[in-house]
C-alpha cells in the first residue's frame, strides 16, 4: 500500500509550527509555575519568585540546548549509542550508592551540585530512544536476526527499568516501557507479539504494585477515591474539585485556591489541575491541542525524513514526550492511577525541561533535513519504508 505526502518544509529550515508550539508551552509553563508556587515559595523560602526565577533560568538553558541540537546532524548519534548506553547505566548505578544520590520523600533520583539538582533518568530516556532506534533501524529482516534484534534491546531496557525502579520512580519506568512498545510496533514487530510480551509481564507488575503498600493504596484509591477521601484518595479528589471550580473560563490566573495545601506538588505533578482551576476547560483544551499539534508535527517529520533512522527517531522522540504528557494529564484527571510524573515543558523542573528540549532539538534537526519533493511510503508488513 502506498502513501504520498508532500512536505511543506524547505530543506535546511526547521519546522516552524513545532517551534512555535514549543515556545507557547514553555511560556504557559513559566506563568503557571509562578501562579502555582508563589504562596508556597513565599512561606518556605521568603521569596514568592523562588521557583519562577529558577524555571526562567532553565528555560533559557533549554532553548540554548534546543538551538545547539537542532544544528547537529542527527546521524552523528549512531556513532555514540554504546557510549550513551554505558553512561546511562553508570549514572543510574551511581544514584544507588549511599552518599552520592540525593533523595527526597523516600526516593533517590537526583544528583545535587550546590543548589542545582539533576535527575539522570530524564536524560536516560532520550539515550534509550537513540539506542533503540539505532538497533532497530540497522537490523536485518532475517527471522533469526530479528529475534536477536529484539532480545538484546529487551535485556537492556529491562536492566534500565530495574535501575529506575530501585530509585524508585515507577512513572518514569512505565514511560520507558511504553515508548519501547511503540517503537517495536512502528518498526514492524507484530502487535500480538507485543501483546504477548505485555501479558507475560503481568506477574512482575503484580509484585511491583500489589506487594508495595503505597502503590497498592494508589491503585485502590484510583478505583474508588471517595472510599479513602482523607487518605490515598484525597489528592485526586482535590484535583476533581479544581476542575469543578474552574468551570469553563476559570477563576483567573493566580486566583485558584486548590494549589494552597490541597493539591500535591501543584507546580510539578499536578500543575494541570491548577491550569484547569485558573483557566477553565478552555485552558485545558488549549494545552491538549498544543500537545496534539506537537504529536502531529512529529509524525509529519517522521513521514518526510530522508532515511529509516530519521523516521524512526522522530517517532521515538515524539512518543517519548507526548506519552509522558498524556500520562500526566491522565493522572490529574483520574483516568490513570496517581504517580509522580511531570507535564513536559510546563511543569517545574530543570532536568525534565532540558531533556525535552534536547529531544525536540534533535527532532527539529530531522525536520531541517526533509526533502521538498513529494515522498512515497510503502506500508509493508506493518512498517513504513521510504520510497
Please list, in sequence order, all residues whose beta carbon lies within 8 angstroms of the beta carbon of residue 324, skipping any fewer than 6 positions away: 175, 341, 342, 344
Query: Which has more pLDDT, 129 or 379?
Result: 129
Average confidence (pLDDT) over 165-170: 84
The confidence score (pLDDT) of residue 280 equals 95
Buried b / exposed e along 300-329 (16+ C-beta atoms within 10 A): bbbbbbeebbbbbbbbbbbbbbbbbbbbbb
Which residue did the predictor score with more confidence, 106 or 354? Answer: 354
Which comes out higher in pLDDT, residue 361 or 13? 361
52-61 mean pLDDT: 96
Whether 33 has a pLDDT exceeding 90, the answer reads yes
**pLDDT greater at residue 138 or residue 268:** 268
Is residue 129 very low, low, confident or very high in pLDDT (cuts 50, 70, 90)?
A: very high
Segment 31-38 mean pLDDT: 95
Instruction: State how beta strands 107-113 and 383-386 pair.
Output: unpaired
Average pLDDT rounded to a whole number, residues 172-184 = 85
Q: Mean pLDDT across the stretch 204-222?
A: 72
Please state the separation of Cα 240 from the chain's center in Å. Answer: 23
Task: State the cell numbers at 176.
Answer: 520507558
Q: Which residue has the cell 484509591?
A: 221
Q: How far apart are the first and last CA of the chain?
A: 12
**pTM of the entire structure?**
0.89
- Whether pLDDT at 90 is above 90: yes
Q: pLDDT for 321-352, tens place per residue?
A: 999 999 999 999 988 887 778 999 999 999 99
Residue 196 has pLDDT above 90, yes or no: no
Name the most confidently modeled range: 19-23, 128-132, 197-201.
Answer: 19-23
**Is the pLDDT at 270 greater than 60, yes or no?**
yes
Could you give the CA distance from residue 173 to residue 180 in angstroms, rounded to a whole number?
11
- At residue 174, the pLDDT reads 84
pLDDT of residue 195: 79
User: By C-alpha distance, which of 5, 75, 3, 1 is closest to 300?
Assistant: 5
Question: What is the model's pLDDT at position 341?
Answer: 86
Mean pLDDT of 260-266: 87
Q: Please give the Cα distance from 243 to 279 (Å, whole number).
A: 10
Q: Is 98 a residue whose pLDDT tops 60?
A: yes
pLDDT above 60: residue 140:
no
* pLDDT surpassing 80 at residue 96: yes
**pLDDT(235) > 70:** yes
Specify the range with the lowest mean pLDDT, choosing from 165-169, 361-365, 383-387.
383-387
Share of the chain above pLDDT 90, in %: 51
Q: Give the pLDDT band (50/70/90) at residue 199.
A: confident
Q: Sheet of 107-113: strands edge to edge? A: 101-104, 107-113, 116-118
pLDDT of residue 215 exceeding 90: no
**What confidence score (pLDDT) does residue 6 get?**
47
Amino acid at each position: 500500500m502506498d502513501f504520498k505526502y508532500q512536505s511543506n518544509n524547505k530543506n535546511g529550515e526547521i519546522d516552524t509550527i513545532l517551534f512555535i508550539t514549543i515556545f507557547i508551552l514553555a511560556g504557559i509553563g513559566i506563568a503557571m509555575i509562578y501562579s502555582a508556587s508563589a504562596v508556597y515559595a513565599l512561606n518556605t523560602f521568603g521569596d514568592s519568585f523562588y521557583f519562577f526565577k529558577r524555571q526562567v533560568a532553565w528555560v533559557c538553558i533549554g532553548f540554548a540546548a534546543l538551538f545547539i541540537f537542532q544544528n547537529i546532524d542527527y546521524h552523528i548519534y549512531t556513532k555514540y549509542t554504546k557510549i550513551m548506553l554505558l553512561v546511562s547505566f553508570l549514572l543510574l548505578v551511581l544514584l544507588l550508592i549511599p552518599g552520592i544520590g540525593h533523595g527526597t520523600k523516600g526516593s533517590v533520583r537526583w544528583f545535587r551540585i550546590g543548589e542545582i539538582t539533576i535527575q539522570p533518568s530524564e536524560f536516560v530516556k532520550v539515550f534509550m530512544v537513540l539506542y533503540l532506534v539505532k538497533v532497530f533501524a540497522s537490523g536485518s529482516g532475517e527471522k533469526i536476526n530479528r529475534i536477536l534484534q529484539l532480545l538484546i534491546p529487551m535485556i537492556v531496557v529491562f536492566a534500565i527499568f530495574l535501575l529506575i525502579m530501585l530509585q524508585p520512580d515507577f512513572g518514569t519506568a512505565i514511560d520507558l516501557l511504553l515508548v519501547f512498545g511503540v517503537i517495536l510496533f512502528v518498526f514492524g514487530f507484530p502487535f500480538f507479539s507485543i501483546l504477548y510480551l505485555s501479558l507475560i509481564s503481568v506477574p512482575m507488575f503484580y509484585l511491583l504494585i500489589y506487594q508495595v503498600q503505597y502503590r497498592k493504596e494508589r491503585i485502590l484509591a484510583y478505583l474508588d477515591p471517595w472510599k479513602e477521601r482523607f487518605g490515598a484518595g484525597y489528592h485526586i479528589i482535590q484535583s476533581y474539585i479544581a476542575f469543578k471550580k474552574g468551570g469553563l473560563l476559570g477563576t483567573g490566573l493566580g486566583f485558584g485556591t486548590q494549589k494552597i495545601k490541597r493539591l500535591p506538588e501543584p507546580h510539578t505533578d499536578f500543575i494541570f489541575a491548577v491550569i484547569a482551576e485558573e483557566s477553565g476547560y478552555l485552558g485545558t483544551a488549549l494545552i491538549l491541542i498544543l500537545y496534539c499539534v506537537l504529536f502531529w508535527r512529529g509524525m509529519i517529520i517522521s513521514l518526510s525524513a530522508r532515511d529509516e533512522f530519521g523516521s524512526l527517531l522522530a517517532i521515538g522522540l515524539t512518543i517519548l514526550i507526548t506519552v509522558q504528557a498524556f500520562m500526566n494529564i491522565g493522572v490529574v484527571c483520574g483516568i490513570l492511577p496517581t504517580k509522580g510524573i511531570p507535564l513536559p515543558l510546563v511543569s517545574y523542573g530543570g532536568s525534565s525541561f532540558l531533556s525535552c528540549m534536547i529531544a525536540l532539538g534533535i527532532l527539529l534537526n530531522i525536520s531541517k533535513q526533509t526533502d521538498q519533493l513529494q515522498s512515497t511510503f510503502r506500508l509493508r508488513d506493518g512498517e513504513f519504508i521510504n520510497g
